[in-house]
Amino acid sequence: MDHLLSWIIFVPTLGAILCLFVPKRQVRVVAVTASLAALILSLLLFPTFLGGGEGAAGYSGSHYGELHHVERHEWITGSNLAIEYFLGIDGLGFPLLILTTLVAFLACLASWNMESWKVGKGIRAYFVLFLLLETGMLGVFVSLDFFLFYIFWEVMLLPMYFLIGVWGGERREYAAIKFFLFTLGGSVLMLVALVAMYFYSDGALASEMQRTGADAVASGYRDGVALTHGTFDLIELATNKVIQGHFNAASTVFLGLKFSTCMFMFLFIGFAIKLPVVPFHTWLPDAHVQAPTPVSMILAGVLLKMGGYGFLRLCYPIFPTGGETWAFLLAVIGIVSILYGALCAMAQTDFKKLVAYSSVSHMGYVLLGIAVMTEAGFQGAMFQMIAHGISSPMCFFLVGVVYDRAHHREINRFGGLWMTMPRYGTLATIGFFASLGLPGLCGFIGEVWVILGTFAAKDNPAMPWAPTMAVLAASAVVLTAGYILWLIRRVYLGREREEYQSFPDVSARETMILVPMAVLSIALGIFPMQTVFNFTNGTLDNMLRHVVQVIGLVP
């Protein structure tokens, strides 16, 4: 048992504490150093995933629940209650963890020269909150105890609220409260699910022990470990046959509804708000538009991914039958998100809002890919999350670059920026074409995998009209091209405008932030296997096998 994951999570916290005490001028340095330390530490995880097994199982184990760098300590224990400090990482959390540390580092760099600093206001508070936010996000991706997961989930919430509400634009308070309320609404449902899952697992084990007369039930994934009472262990909840049998049985009911169906929906809504999917998306454009650029990067790059991660970590492995029940509805919502988000994006005149709505559209692919429950769908959804986690912070930062100079975001007032700022124009082209889903760049792979995965679900009785859905999802490629190219034309092409001619091209710091993302967009597009799939596919395939198996076992 090593403590690498703990270090990764809490290095930013240490940085935050340090920030409280160092002189104001040093705060930025400390914060950037802390986020860089977290990035470097997270890169130390690579050997674990590079060295491992081979074949179909990929680099991440032979069954769902094969974890690395596990840390387990009893944390809160009652007579019947065992909440653990349980961290671990597999192919699901790993790429997202790296993404988080990377985006957080880049966003930290992007915070270097914010307007507010010039008046010397709030720099300390900003970076403290920023680093706490990073801790929260990292914690979510590695905690495997539901209770701990929930705590990190909430820890992330408050700093975000303040970051938007204090350092945001004109309507920051409205946006911040909206963000907070939406997320909180989801959290409430998650809390209900948390409690219910604990009690129901406890009940399942109790009746099993009563039936067999034994005084414990064997763990689903840990050798030589037995359970005596309910658990918050997310892997146990998914892999323990007794618990799974009970959770997914049709006879298990909750508030008069089938337990798995109901719990799946509770969790789903919580995560769907984060993702976000239509109709729970309206917090997103407001939050993005009002948030300062680095916070937008974090929001788009990492926070949205928590929704997708939540589906894959909680909803599907623990309530496969729920997934089957809702498959059709979720796929429809996914397609609506894709098309509706694209259409809304097309009609925006605010640069940032357009990018925000494009996120809604892109995240729709994530939901669709997961909902169809096929290998290619899961893989595509996961890839789409990572790809979007790179391309959309890049787009937001690109918006930030012009906003810093022009102090407005009206698309129609721009023009000819490629002439004015050639390097910026080139980088912007890469960023927006990645977002467009141009082959050779990262946005393409996720989309194609999801579309193919959707089509492949056509024999699943829970997914009627899968081919039609795939066609609809594919039709979005035209809409996406429409709004992105229109945007590029209005902002970057055309004659130079007088008022922007004095704009300097991207600075060294800005280049330092944009270039890694541009390089990654290209790398992911050309080497999807080496950059993402090799790490994720093993876990995802194992999970899917598990899901299918449970669905098969429980009629």
Partner 1 sequence: MGNHTYELLLALGVLSPFVSFWLLVFFGPRLGKPLAGWVGVVLGMGVPLALSSYVLVNWLGEVESGQAAALTASALRFQWAMIGPIAIDIGVKLDSLTVAMYFMVTFIAFWIFVFSVGYMSGHSDEVAGKSKYHRFFAYLSLFAFSMLGLVVSSNLLFLFIFWELVGLCSYLLIGFYFHQRVPQYAQMKAFITNRVGDFGFLIGLMLVYFQLGTLDLDEAAVVFAQQYATQTGIFASTFTMFGWSLATIMGVGLFCGAMGKSAQFPLHVWLPDAMAGPTPVSALIHAATMVAAGVYLVARVFRLMTPEALMFVAVIGCLTLALMALVAMVQTDIKKCLAYSTLSQLGYMIFGLGCGAWIAALFHLITHAFFKAMMFLGSGQVIEGCHHEQDMRKMGGLIRKMPFTGITFLIGVLAISGFGIAGLEIGGIKFGLGGFFSKDEILAVAYTRSFEWEEGDFSKHQEQGDGHGGHGAIDRSDENDRIRLASFGQQESSNLEVLASGTQADHGHAVEHGAENPHSTNEKHSGHGTAANAGIFANTPKLPKWMFWLAIITAYITPFYMMRCWWMTFMGKPRDEHVHEHAHEVPLMYVPLVVLAVGTFVASYFLFRPLIADASHVGSSAAMVMAIDGTAHTEAVHHAHVWLQYGVGGSFVVGFLVAIAIYGRGLALADRLKRVAGPIHTLLERKYYIDEIYDLVWVKGCVALAYVARFFDTYVVDLIFNSLASVTERLAAFSGLIIDNQGVDGVVNGVAATSLDIGDRIRRPQTGRIRNYVLITAGIAAAVIIGFLIWGPDVGGVPIAVAGL
For partner 1, the binding residues in 486-525 under the rule CB under 8 A are 486, 489, 493-496
Q: Does 252 bind partner 1 (CB under 8 A)?
A: yes
CB of 182 to partner 1, least distance (A): 7
Residue with tokens 């467009």: 436
Residue with tokens 């429809």: 332
508's tokens: 């060294």
Separation CA 163–CA 431 (nearest Å) = 25
Give the footprint of partner 1 on residues 185-214 (CB under 8 A).
185, 187-188, 191-192, 195-196, 198-200, 202-207, 210
CB of 397 to partner 1, least distance (A): 21
Which of 14, 22, 471, 515 is in the footprint of partner 1 by CB under 8 A? 471
Find out whether 369 and 454 touch, Cβ atoms under 8 Å. yes
443's tokens: 């946005």
CB of 204 to partner 1, least distance (A): 7
**Cβ-based nearer residue to partner 1, 210 or 224:** 210
Which of 180, 414, 500, 503 is in the footprint of partner 1 by CB under 8 A? 180
Q: Does 14 bind partner 1 (CB under 8 A)?
A: no
Find out whether 450 and 473 touch, Cβ atoms under 8 Å. yes
Give the footprint of partner 1 on residues 366-395 (CB under 8 A).
374-376, 379
Residue 124: how many CA atoms within 13 Å on its side-chain side?
A: 10
- Burial of residue 120 (CB within 10 Å: 0-12, 13-18, 19+) is exposed
Give the footprint of partner 1 on residues 28-57 (CB under 8 A).
none
Q: Does 438 bind partner 1 (CB under 8 A)?
A: yes
Find out whether 105 and 36 touch, Cβ atoms under 8 Å. yes
Residue with tokens 């618990």: 243
Q: Does 182 bind partner 1 (CB under 8 A)?
A: yes
- Relative to beta strand 82-89, strand 68-77 is antiparallel
**Cβ-based nearer residue to partner 1, 297 or 445:** 445
Which of 129, 314, 330, 547 is in the footprint of partner 1 by CB under 8 A? 129
CB of 92 to partner 1, least distance (A): 17
**Cβ-based nearer residue to partner 1, 393 or 528:** 528
Other CB atoms within 10 A of residue 78 CB: 8
Query: What is the rounded (10 degree) CA torsion for 99, 10, 136, 299?
Result: -40
Neighbour-count burial for 219-230, b at 16+ CB within 10 Å, e otherwise:
bbbbeeeebebb
Which of 23, 25, 54, 255 is in the footprint of partner 1 by CB under 8 A? 255
CB of 8 to partner 1, least distance (A): 24
**Cβ-based nearer residue to partner 1, 92 or 470:** 470
Span near partner 1 by CB under 8 A; candidates 92-100, 175-183, 391-399, 497-505? 175-183
Give the footprint of partner 1 on residues 221-240 (CB under 8 A).
229-230
- Burial of residue 201 (CB within 10 Å: 0-12, 13-18, 19+) is buried
**Cβ-based nearer residue to partner 1, 4 or 193:** 193
Separation CA 160–CA 535 (nearest Å) = 29
Q: Does 184 bind partner 1 (CB under 8 A)?
A: yes
Which of 10, 254, 269, 511 is in the footprint of partner 1 by CB under 8 A? 254
Q: Does 102 bind partner 1 (CB under 8 A)?
A: no
**Per-residue contact flags (x/-) with partner 1 for residues 300 to 319, judged by CB under 8 A:** --------------------
Span near partner 1 by CB under 8 A; candidates 220-228, 275-283, 301-309, 509-517? 275-283
CA 274 to chain centre: 8
Q: Does 20 bind partner 1 (CB under 8 A)?
A: yes
Find out whether 275 and 304 touch, Cβ atoms under 8 Å. yes
Q: Does 404 bind partner 1 (CB under 8 A)?
A: no
Separation CA 170–CA 167 (nearest Å) = 10
Q: Does 449 bind partner 1 (CB under 8 A)?
A: yes
Q: What number of chain residues touch partner 1 (CB under 8 A)?
A: 104
Span near partner 1 by CB under 8 A; candidates 1-9, 87-95, 455-463, 501-509? 455-463
CB of 525 to partner 1, least distance (A): 9
45's tokens: 């995880």
Q: Phi/psi at 439 (nearest 5 deg)?
A: -55, 145
Q: Does 79 bind partner 1 (CB under 8 A)?
A: yes
Which of 28, 68, 69, 178 is in the footprint of partner 1 by CB under 8 A? 178
Q: Does 419 bind partner 1 (CB under 8 A)?
A: yes
Residue 65 DSSP SS3: coil
526's tokens: 């050309």
Residue 68 DSSP SS3: strand
**Omega before residue 12 within 30° of 0, cis:** no
Span near partner 1 by CB under 8 A; candidates 33-41, 96-104, 125-133, 298-306? 125-133
422's tokens: 């050639």
CB of 371 to partner 1, least distance (A): 16
Which of 29, 181, 250, 329 is in the footprint of partner 1 by CB under 8 A? 181
**Cβ-based nearer residue to partner 1, 304 or 473:** 473
Other CB atoms within 10 A of residue 368 CB: 33
Q: Does 464 bind partner 1 (CB under 8 A)?
A: no
**Per-residue contact flags (x/-) with partner 1 for residues 325 to 344, judged by CB under 8 A:** ---------------x--xx
CB of 452 to partner 1, least distance (A): 5
Give the footprint of partner 1 on residues 59-78 (CB under 8 A).
78
Which DSSP helix (H) or strand (E) runs through 33? helix 27-43
Separation CA 15–CA 95 (nearest Å) = 23
Helix axis angle for 375-406 and 351-371, nearest 10°, is 170
